[in-house]
Amino acid sequence: MNFYALFAQLLALVTALILAPILNGWVNQCRAWMQNRTAPPLLQTYYTVSKLLHKDALLAHNASSLFRVAPYAIFSCLALASAIVPTLSTELIFSPAADAIALVGLFALARVFIALAGMDVGTAFGSLGSRREMLIGFLAEPALLLIFFTTSLISQSTSLSTIVATLAHRDFVIYPSLAFAGVAFTMVSLAENARIPIDNPTTHLELTMVHEAMILEYSGRHLALIEWAASLKLFAYSCLGLALFFPVGITEVADPVSLAMSGVILVMKLAIGGFMMALIETLSAKMRIFRAPEFLGTAFLLAVLAMLVHLLLESGK
Amino acid sequence: MNPSLIQAIPLSGQVINLCAALMLLLGFAMLSQRRILALINLFMMQGVVLFVSTLVVALTTNQHHLLWSAGLTLVLKVIALPYILHRLIRRLSVKWDIETLFNIPTTMLVGIVLVVIAFNVAQPISQMSGTITRSTIGIALACVLLAFLMLITRSKAVPQVVAFLAMENGLFFAATSATYGMPMVVELGIALDVMVGMVILGVFFFQIRQQFDSLDIRHMERFKDK
Amino acid sequence: MIELACVLSIPFVTALLLGLFGHRRGAAELNSAGSLFTLLAAGMLTIRVIRDGPMTLFDEQFFVDPLNVFLIALTAFVGLTTSLFSRPYMRVEHDHGRLSAGRLRLYHSMFQMFMCTMLVALSTNNLGILWVAMETATLTTVLLVALYRTPASLEAAWKYFILCGVGIAQALFGTILIYFAAERVLGHEGGALLWTHLDAVKDQLEPTVLSLAFVFLFIGYGTKTGLVPLHNWLPDAHAEGPTPVSAVLSGLLLNVALYAIIRSKVLVDGALESHFAGNLMIGFGLLTVVVPAFYLSRQKDIKRLFGYSSIEHMGLITFAFGMGGPVASYAGLLHMTVHSLTKSAIFFAVGHAAQMAGTQIIDDIKGLLRQSPTIGWGLMLGTLAILGMPPFGVFTSEFMILTTAIKHYPWATPILLTALGVAFAAMFGMVQGMVFGKPTVRPLPHNPALLPVFAHLGLVLMLGVWIPPYLADWYRQAAKFIG
Amino acid sequence: MSQLLLIDWVLITALGWLSIGMVGVAFPRNFILNSRILYPLGAVGGLVLALIALTGIFASPQIRILPLGMPGLPFHLRLDALSSFFLLLLGTASAGISIYAAGYLRKGDGTAPGLQCLLYHVFLASMAFVMLADDGYAFMVAWETMALSSFFLVTSEHRHAEIRRAGYLYLLVAHVGAVGILLSFGVMAGVEGDYTFDAMRDFSSHGFWPTIAFLLALFGFGAKAGILPLHIWLPEAHPAAPSPVSAMMSGVMLKTAIYGMLRVSFDLLHAQIWWWGVLLLLLGLATALFGVVFSAIQTDMKRLLAYSSIENIGLIFLGFGLTLIFKSFMLPHLAALALTATLYHCLNHAFFKSLLFLCTGSVLHATRERNLGKLGGLIHRMPWVTWLALIGVLAASGLPPLNGFASEWLLLQSFLFTSGLPQGYLNMLLPVIAGAVALISAFAGFTMVKFFGIVFLGQPREEKLTQAHDAGRLERIGLLWLGVGCILLGLFPNVVIVLLDPVTRLLVGSGLRGTAGSHGWWLLAPISQDRASYSPAIFLGSIVIFMPLVYWAVKRFYHGRLKRVPAWDCGFPLQTARMQDTAEGFGQPIRRIFSPFFKRTREHPSPFDSQPRYLSIVEDPFWYWLYLPIAKIVERGTQLIAFLQQGRIALYLLYSFITLLSLLVLTRG
């Protein structure tokens, strides 16, 4: 590992930590505009987080130590995840440490922790939320893995850096499989980030909540960490999608210039991506929880289709 | 058999053949007999025939131990067993007719078939038979099978025993007339067994009657797995 | 010479003594003592044979060779253990008033008489005497089966008597035929019924006559062995007689009848130069394995259940000898040994269990393990052993039989295995219900005789993991000699 | 023999176990002796065995012939890499379980402790002998002894009818399976009928015989492993058994079946046919899916774990099938990869599943309760068990950086590198199956969250749970052993791969040591680094660094103030513990999505019920589709045959008469 790699890694991490809440705010803003509402400020997430950090943490009597550990665990998992995803450069220290599968595992780890935390206090809504979260999770996770499989079949590797590198620096070939994979990925990331049509991040009607229901008991710094972690997750997913399906501008070499270059490109891509996401959320309506399996099942099938398409059309045999 | 052959056989052989024929006849008679006392008498007559044939064999092929067994037959089959049976019947007062499980004519027909089978089976033996009495094995077998049939068709205890003893007769006949007697030890043993068996059965009859107050073995069908 | 004389005379004398004093106290001890001396004599005889090989005695009327001497030893052993077991058993029966003193006398003397006939049948060289002994054995056991004089026992005894009597009659006819065929070769005084002589000239005997003779002998002795469809007397007799009698019936009588069949098979195969007898035995063996397996699951009476299981095992042994060859015959002999040991052990345990429960109905016997662990374990282990679970000896023999079958008669293997599987499902379910669960049984007034049970099971276990070398080559000789 | 070889030491250990059992049964009622001395001794035996096996893996095969057994076929024993690996598994797992059992054992009715001790150690020893056996007879003896001893252990609480039923079912299936194995040996022994494994290796059978042998072995070992549809005994027997025994059965005994299957299909049979692999693949897939779906809806914690064992066996068989496919297509390196994943998963499953079963044991002791609907909130009362169970749960749901993930990662890798098989369909099929594997492992996550959350988190659903006590000292040691094992196995995959190298070389003629070893202990890269790599050490390290950092930062720049308040009731004033999600509730979406899988009977309360009851029983369809029909057929057969036994003496005589006549005619004609 050379110095640049270390630098790039740190840079990627910091970028993630900084940009994530902004991306969240940006999406909300776009959505507000489209719905003719006055938009919250771009940095709203920062405000919320710092406000929560200043507040006291209220803890239910029944809350256990696991309940208190969970936020830190979730935050660090997702931070690590967003560090693994090649946002600016593909030359990262962590890239050998975790490939695509491990990344999915990391997301799953975070999910398990938040679900357990939801069940910990023992209110009706917490466990309800955890159940739904796990349901969505175990349907979304394999879809995500299958998407990765498609890409790794293309690039004969499961290491993210290699995948992105091959995808970014190929001479221009049309991969129909990637189209399917892309659609599937969008659906999965909507579901995973508690977005409409699966979940409504802004709702507080208990019976429709999923993510919010789990974190109902959290407050103060714990809630702050979780919010931040949520935005990190969104960021990681977006970057992942961009890196896989629009890998333009991600450098292989980690020298400052190209890093800055790719940073700019990244911001632009994120802006567009966030807008698209807001668009989707506005155009679609939230579905009943038992429609969710069908939704994710479709995503899973699309992913399978993508792989088959690859094997049929592109594997050359 | 054509006449020439009959000429070939000496008198003693002819007597034995006659006895064989009588045995068979008696076998059929027992098969068709409805009345129990008559049955016992028939059995006794079979014993007599057996005794005669054994005697003839003993005299022609002067084997002394056959004389013994002839005497044994006389004592056992002609005197002792019928006597015991008669007493039993008087004591148990079971003089009624025997109802058979199948009607008599069918039984007779089956009996004929059996005889045919028996002769057919015994044929090779008769071919190689060195003794002057050729067909006796076949007839003995036929007697055994007929007795077996009777055993199956009778539904009372006493006739069954008679049938059992008739079967013993057939065997005896085979042993003595066909093969000119087995070693003495064996015959004594056989006779002894028959005797003891008879005694035991006699005891049994009383037990059975006492328990089932009848000697109809159709009461004894309790053990079944269906 | 002297040993055999002892082996044969001790039981006879004991029987006479018991016939006189059998109702006095101490009869059971006398019974056991007699059996013990018989066993000692048998042991000496065995040693003698091991030392100087086969011999014929009493102007050739008797003989001992590897085949029968081990059966003699086995018979004497099982006789001893059974007499040991019957002591407390009969005491309980007496206390419950099911047996009068007179009946006890009858029981004791007939038991010894039965042992005597068994030993004669095993050791005689004369097919006629063999027949006589078998018939006498039938008579004595008829008396034993009818010991209780209940309607059920009388019915069982009656069926036993008629069916076996008729069967035995066929056997006599077979014997006559053999004599008939033999005296033309051996002459009149040439001991035409002496097995050794017959064996010597068997290739000159007339084949057709011998095959007919074998049919009769097979039917006759097969009835006593309990081959399907001649078996119908067996479950009744096992269920209704006193348990020691069931034990010796299963453990000894069936073996001896089978022994007679084997003897005649040797002759007939020698004469026919064909596999006629073998095929016959294979066919009936298979039938006898399959049919009882399906009966088992319908049984209500525990002793009846094990009666059917004995039939099944006899079928297996018959099948083994039918296949012939060193391995299969070896396995058959081994299976004879382990089966009679295990089955008699099971009957001992069952007898005590039935006395504890006061009934033989399976559904009314529960929780033996809690009430009396030793009996419970005895029954459980015995059943597992008889079902062919390693490390018990039954598994060894079944393994050999099955593997030989796979090699020579592959088509038969699935049939055998299905039957064994069905038997396992049926029997184990019932026995588990009896051994486990909440107890419905009362403890016994006298402490039960468990030495026999565990002695037998111990032996079976030993045979499962280690067969003593001399025993092994003894089996081997016998197997070679059966062919 | 001049000096003692390794195999002798293995034998000595096994005999040691047996003698421990003997001592135990000599003093059946002596509680202290049994629990405090003998079981710990047994644990020591396990450790010793593990050490021997560790060296045995790298040693050359060793052979012993005991003067016991059948005439002409004495017990042949053989210690090679494969058996050593499984002995290692046995030793390590049993060490933990035995020490736990020492603490777990209570004075109670049921089997006497001494007898239990005997059975338990006979069970251990027989498993060791299964691994050692080198001829059909010795194998069968050890195998059936294993089944018997475990049966008696399962039925040690035999007063309950359902436990008797479970035991009966278990032994029956085991016995039928054993018959299959015996037949398979018979086929492989061939015409010479020599039952030593050496002879089977040399005997080159051809045509369809190898296939028949393979299928028979699959039937036999599948019955023990719990492959669909022979799994039926597993969810019955595991809950019935005392917890250490269920841990032993699920963790180790199921693996003996895998061992046997490996032995047969790679060692004894030479040529593998590719569709064997496909068959195993599909069977494994069906089993895993079935297992995980059913475990998700269970309401009894041990049944839940039992079904999850079925799922893991399914995964193992998936890897197995893949190995067979690669081997048959002459791709030794990929075969080695798949086989490594398989064996690795065996080891991992042994650890985390035993851990979880032992945790349920402690819960059982503390609460006398197996029903998930009556547990909850135990984290406050029994923190030790809870946190160790958390390790097991994370491992079981295949999450990094624990061991479950490592093996599943390898498995997925071996699925992904399949392009280039001569079979076009396989190239299509395998990645899709990989997707299914992903689904299964995610599903396992769902199940495990349900298990852990409902048992340990939330509020106690019953009053008595507030008196629950944590595990005792010995129990903790056992749990710790296994938990730490889970973590270490997860952290150092390369070490395990190096361990597995000789085994894979023995079976498929290639190993991962060269490639995987080249990146140092911290980086797992089975093929090459830029192709796929995973480093649990960095992974865990970074999380472990990150968490305190964030914690410290928050504390440092803001504050650590904390207030305890009642939980927010969302405006519903009376929130009781009964309002939490029950096990049924948690499983409800699964019941809904996978409804065709189940055979369910349900009662919904009508709105007018005075005492509304909701009843929903979900049963195993195989029981109704497969087993009951078979039972019916046999029943019918008995009815037909029993018709012969009419009780009429005339009829009986007729039988013999007809037999006689037909035989006579037969001989003459």
Categorize the per-residue pLDDT at D1 as very low, low, confident or very high, splitting at 50, 70 and 90.
very low
Residue to mutate among A78, A113, A131, with most D CBs inside 10 A, is A131
- Is D667 part of the contact surface with chain C (CB cutoff 8 Å)? yes
D167 touches chain C (CB under 8 A): yes
Between CA D135 and CA A295 the distance in angstroms is 55
Residue scoring higher pLDDT (A263 or D316):
D316
Contact (CB<8Å) D649/B222: no
Average pLDDT over residues A106-118: 93
C440 touches chain D (CB under 8 A): no
Would you tell me how many other CB atoms lie within 10 Å of the CB of residue A93? 18
- Nearest by CB: D445 against A73, A120, A138: A138
Q: What is the pLDDT of residues A173-186, one digit of tens each?
A: 677 888 899 999 99
Mean pLDDT of C209-228: 93
Question: Considering only residues 538 to 557 of chain D, which have any Cβ-Cβ distance to chain A shorter than 8 Å?
Answer: 538-539, 542-543, 546-547, 550-551, 554, 557
Q: How far is D37 from chain A (nearest CA, A)?
A: 36
Peptide bond into D401 cis (omega under 30): yes
pLDDT one-digit tens code per residue, C93-112: 988 888 888 899 999 999 99
pLDDT band at C437 (very low <50, low <70, confident <90, very high): confident
C149·B211 Cβ contact <8 A: yes
Q: How far is CA A65 from CA A59, B16, B87, D476, D487, in A?
A: 11, 112, 101, 20, 21
List all chains that touch chain C, counting a touch as 3 or more CB pairs closer than 8 Å. Answer: B, D
What is the predicted pLDDT for the residue at D590?
Answer: 85
Q: DSSP letters along D286-350, please?
A: HHHHHHHHHHHT-SBHHHHHHHHHHHHHHHHHHHHHHHHHHHHTT-HHHHHHHHHHHHHHHHHHH
Q: Does D634 contact C at CB distance below 8 Å? A: yes
* Residue C17 binned pLDDT confidence (cut-offs 50, 70, 90): very high
Q: Which positions ≥6 away from C116 have C-beta within 8 Å? A: C8, C11, C12, C15
- B11-30 mean pLDDT: 87
Q: Which residues of C touch D219 (CB under 8 A)?
A: none
The whole-angstrom distance between B145's CA and the closest CA on chain C is 10
The DSSP output letter for D603 is E
Q: Please calculate the CA angle D306-D309-D310 and round it to the nearest 5 degrees.
A: 95
Question: Quick check: do A and D touch, 3+ CB pairs under 8 A?
Answer: yes
Collect all residues of chain D within an 8 Å Cβ-Cβ radius of residue B145.
Answer: 661
pLDDT exceeds cutoff 50 at B1:
no
Contacts C126 to B, Cβ<8 Å = 183, 185-186
Q: Does C321 touch chain D (CB under 8 A)?
A: no
* D167's tokens: 């035991």
d(CA A152, CA A311): 12
Q: Per-residue pLDDT averaged across D658-669, rounded?
A: 86
Chain D residues with CB under 8 Å of B113 CB are none
Cβ of A122 within 8 Å of Cβ of D377? The answer is: yes
Name the average pLDDT for chain A. 87
Identify the residue among C166, C215, C461 best suited for mutation to test binding to D, counting D beta carbons within 10 A and taking the highest.
Answer: C215
* C133 strand-pairing partners: none
Q: D387: nearest CA in chain A? A: A66
Query: Token digits for A117?
Result: 């935390």
pLDDT score recorded for residue D310: 95
Residue-level pLDDT at D532: 80
Query: How many Å lie between the alpha carbon of C209 and the closest alpha carbon of chain B?
Result: 6
- A288 CB neighbours in chain D (<8 A) are none
Contact present, B23 and B42 (Cβ < 8 Å): no
Average of per-residue pLDDT across D596-617: 79
| pLDDT above 50 (res A317) | no
ipTM, two decimals: 0.89
CA distance A296 to D193: 57
Which residues in chain C touch residue D179, judged by CB atoms under 8 angstroms apart?
417, 420-421
User: Are D665 and B117 in contact (CB < 8 Å)?
Assistant: yes
Q: Which of A134-138, B216-220, D477-481 is most confident?
A: D477-481
D646 and B226 within 8 Å at the Cβ level: the answer is yes
Q: Which residue of B has its CA nearest to D653?
A: B152
Query: Considering CB atoms only, which of C128, C235, C299 is closest to B183?
Result: C128
C135 vs B contacts (CB less than 8 Å): 189-190, 193, 197
How far is A103 from A110, CA to CA, in rounded Å? 11
Nearest CA in chain D to B147: D657
Tokens of D635: 């029943």
D656/C162 Cβ within 8 A: no
Lowest average pLDDT, out of B95-104, C332-341, D285-294, goes to B95-104
- Is the N-terminal amide bond of D229 cis, ω within 30° of 0? yes
* Contacting residues for C462 by C-beta, under 8 A, at least 6 apart: C393
Which two three-digit tokens encode residue D42? 């047994």
Distances (CA, A) of C69 to C55, C119, C120, C363: 11, 10, 12, 42
Q: What is the pLDDT of residue B131?
A: 56
Restricting to B residues 152-171, those with a Cβ less than 8 Å away from any Cβ of D are: 152-153, 155
Give pLDDT tens digits for D73-122. Answer: 889 999 999 999 999 999 999 999 999 999 887 766 567 888 889 999 99
- Tokens 């609907």 belong to residue: D373
C185: exposed, middle or buried (C-beta count within 10 Å: 0-12, 13-18, 19+)? middle
Lowest mean pLDDT among A125-129, B179-183, C176-180, D20-24: B179-183
- Please report residues of C whose CB lies closer than 8 A to that of B167: 166, 169
Least confident of A264-273, C269-278, D302-311, D512-521: D512-521
Query: For chain C, what is the mean pLDDT?
Result: 90
C72 touches C45 (CB < 8 A): yes
Q: How far is B118 from chain D (nearest CA, A)?
A: 9
Q: In chain D, which residues have their Cβ closer than 8 Å to the Cβ of C280? A: 663
Contact criterion met (CB < 8 Å) for D653 and B148: yes
Q: How far does the CA of residue C156 sit from the closest CA of chain B (Å)?
A: 8
Verify whether the Cβ–Cβ distance A72 to D547 is below 8 Å: yes
B200 → closest Cβ in C143, C155, C183: C143
Taking only the tens place, the pLDDT of each residue in C147-162 is 998 888 988 999 999 9
Binning pLDDT at 50, 70 and 90, where does residue D395 land? very high
Residue C117 pLDDT exceeds 90: yes
User: Residue D233 in contact with residue D174, Cβ under 8 Å?
Assistant: yes
Q: Does D69 touch chain C (CB under 8 A)?
A: yes
D593 CB neighbours in chain A (<8 A) are 293
The predicted pLDDT at position D107 comes to: 67
Q: Which residues of D fall within a CB distance of 8 Å from C475?
A: 71
D581 touches chain A (CB under 8 A): yes
Q: Scanning every residue of chain B, which has its alpha carbon at the shortest distance from the alpha carbon of C173? A: B171
Q: Which of D9-14's residues contact partners 24+ apart within 8 Å by CB, and which partners?
A: D9/D48, D9/D52, D10/D49, D10/D52, D10/D53, D10/D56, D10/D79, D10/D87, D10/D128, D10/D132, D11/D64, D11/D77, D11/D132, D13/D45, D13/D48, D13/D49, D13/D52, D13/D128, D14/D124, D14/D125, D14/D128, D14/D129, D14/D132
Predicted pLDDT of residue C269 = 86
State the pLDDT at residue B2: 47
Minimal Cα–Cα distance from D669 to chain B, Å? 9
pLDDT given for residue D263 in this prediction: 94
* Residues from chain D contacting residue C424 (CB–CB below 8 Å): 172, 175
- Say yes or no for a CB contact (<8 Å) between B124 and C295: no
Give the position of tokens 């629009």: A246
Q: What pLDDT is recorded for position C84?
A: 93
SS3 of chain A: the string is CCHHHHHHHHHHHHHHHHHHHHHHHHHHHHHHHHCCCCCCCCCHHHHHHHHHHHCCEEEECCCCHHHHHHHHHHHHHHHHHHHHCCCCECCCCCCCCCCHHHHHHHHHHHHHHHHHHHHHCCCHHHHHHHHHHHHHHHHHHHHHHHHHHHHHHHHCCCCHHHHHHHHHCCCCCCCHHHHHHHHHHHHHHHHHCCCCCCCCCCCCCHHHCCHHHHHHHCCHHHHHHHHHHHHHHHHHHHHHHHHHHCCCCCECCCCHHHHHHHHHHHHHHHHHHHHHHHHHHHHCCCCCHHHHHHHHHHHHHHHHHHHHHHHHHHCCC
